Amino acid sequence: MPGLDRQGWHLAPWRREYCIVTTTPSPDRPAGPVIVTVCTSCRAPGTELAEAPGRKLFEAVASAAEGTDCRVRPTQCLSVCKRICSISLSAAGGYTFVFGDLDPDRDAGDVVAMARACAEAPHGFVPWRDRPEAMRRGIIARVPPPDWSPEDGSAPA
Residue 99 lies in a domain: yes
Residue 155 lies in a domain: no
Measured on CA atoms in the order 31, 87, 61, 12, is the torsion positive or negative?
Answer: positive
Residue 3 lies in a domain: no
Residue 7 lies in a domain: no
62/156 Cα distance (integer angstroms): 30
8 Å CB contact between 11 and 62: no
Q: How many domains does the chain have?
A: 1
Q: Which domain holds residue 130?
A: 13-143
54/75 Cα distance (integer angstroms): 10
Query: How would residue 13 be classed by pLDDT, with cut points 50, 70 and 90?
Result: very low
Residue 149 lies in a domain: no
Predicted TM-score (pTM) of this structure: 0.79
98-125 pLDDT, tens per residue?
A: 999 999 999 999 999 999 899 888 888 9
